[in-house]
Amino acid sequence: MTHVPSTTHALVFQGPGQAPAIEELGLEPPGPGEVRVRMVASGVCHSDLHMVDGDWERPAGVVMGHEGTAIVEELGSGVGAGAETGVEPGARAPGLGVGDLVVLAWTAPCGACPACGRGEAWLCAAPLGADHRLAPELARLHRPDGTPVGAYSGIGTFATHQVVAAGAAITIDPRTPPEVAALIGCAASTGVGAVRNTAAVRPADSVVVLGLGGVGLSALMAAVAAGASPIIGVDLEPSKRELALELGATRSVEPDSALRVVRVVRELTGGGADHVLECIGRTSTAELALDLARPGGTITLVGMTPQGERAGVDVYRFVEDGKRLLGSNYGSSVPARDFPVIAADVLAGRLPLGRLVEERIGLEDVVGALDAMRRRQGLRRVVVF
């Protein structure tokens, strides 16, 4: 196959506290175990804001975005039907073909490390496209002066075209609306997976969701689909509390005081919830989550605070009440197993994830979308290419 030189139009992280900028970059053809994709849609996630605001340390010179859906345009060697050799076990993706609609996974399991061996793809020690593809042998993007540019979490979805590990490209039902398919790459998997995989919510369990953004409302939808009851949503924003009720929450609560939230939750659940999910990423609400669970109940922390912050635990009460505290990374998802199921649930109407899409925007509008997120305005804004 002849490789035409290729370029991509992409939003590049310039360092903490600085506005990311759109740049025209050279894009190399896919190497062994990789595919080139044309991006279709990419959501703006709160983690993008954490990165730009410097809450989490990330290297400059990386194409941002980690919540995207794309069409496969070109297969590297060792990828696709009949390809078996020359690439890592996790990267073979034998079912992948040109023209497939794929959701890009920000942790693509290597298939060979101990975590992958245990089936814990989300804890993979050496994910494909690791370290934002900045290593010279992985960088496929270059500035006109030749400097390599990385791809956030190996996928950098705020780009018209991208080269990713084949194992990061998960084929889903092509009828899935692209804006919704994009959300499966982060918010939906993180929230739905926290309920289904990490917490393993059962029918008739009582559930509290703290934070009703893209992730929290995805969790809430999964709790509704699981037959949980009552389901209580907590958010500062009235519009989000309203939407939670429309999506099937039993009650939504304004967190004007922690004491009041505790009182309302204990009243509605008869002494505390079976499950509490923290989807905000603050130490104060993580501490509140511990108080909202019943004795023996489970607290699932989904939100990540700025790096290095610590929350306090009343150890005496925690132990006497026999509570369980879980961390949920990427909804404990195995992308190849879970993404197609979420897409099928969307198409069957079991997970109305389309309700999360606030606005379709262009690549040049991402900076404004991050500002809106900082002001807690609206839900998911999705770049449509």
The widest CA-to-CA distance across the chain, in whole angstroms, is 68
Identify what 116 binds: Zn ion, ligand COD, none; CB under 5 to 8 Å per kind.
Zn ion
Indicate the residue among 166 and 228 with the shorter CB distance to Zn ion. 166
Listed in sequence order, the residues at least 6 apart from 285 whose beta carbon sits closer than 8 Å to its beta carbon are 210, 211, 255, 278, 303
Q: Binding segment for ligand COD among 8-16, 171-179, 233-241, 359-367 (CB under 6 A)?
A: 233-241
Q: Give, as ranges, the residues between 58 and 117 that touch ligand COD (CB under 6 A).
A: none
Q: Binding segment for ligand COD among 131-139, 213-221, 267-275, 319-327 (CB under 6 A)?
A: 213-221
**Could you tell me how far CA 294 lies from the centroid of its own chain?**
28
Identify what 76 binds: Zn ion, ligand COD, none; CB under 5 to 8 Å per kind.
none
List the Cα angle 367/159/307 in 5-degree steps. Answer: 55
Of the candidates 336, 325, 296, 332, the one whose C-alpha atom is nearest the C-alpha of residue 198 is: 332
Q: Is 212 in the site for ligand COD (CB under 6 A)?
A: yes
Indicate the residue among 263 and 376 with the shorter CB distance to ligand COD. 376
Q: Binding segment for ligand COD among 39-47, 96-104, 136-144, 157-165 (CB under 6 A)?
A: 39-47
Identify what 237 binds: Zn ion, ligand COD, none; CB under 5 to 8 Å per kind.
ligand COD
- Residue matched to tokens 């995989």: 197
The 3-state DSSP class for residue 33 equals coil
In the complex, minimum distance from the CB of residue 344 to Zn ion, in angstroms, rounded to a whole number: 22
List the Cα angle 219/196/381 in 5-degree steps. Answer: 30
- Residue matched to tokens 């104060």: 284
Q: Which of 47, 107, 252, 298 binds Zn ion (CB under 5 A)?
A: 47
Q: What is the DSSP string of 304-351?
A: -PSTT------HHHHHHTT-EEEE-SGGG--HHHHHHHHHHHHHTTSS
Q: Binding segment for Zn ion among 37-45, 141-149, 197-205, 341-349 (CB under 5 A)?
A: 37-45
Q: Binding segment for ligand COD among 92-100, 131-139, 207-215, 264-272 (CB under 6 A)?
A: 207-215
Indicate the residue among 187 and 351 with the shorter CB distance to ligand COD. 187
Residues in the chain: 385
Q: Is 290 in the site for ligand COD (CB under 6 A)?
A: no
**Could you tell me how far CA 237 lies from the centroid of its own chain?**
22
- Residue matched to tokens 């590990």: 165
Structure tokens that stand for 154 in this block: 């190996």
Q: Is 113 in the site for Zn ion (CB under 5 A)?
A: yes
List interacting residues with ligand COD (CB under 6 A).
Answer: 45-47, 186-187, 190, 211-216, 234-237, 240, 255, 279-282, 285, 302-304, 329-330, 373, 376
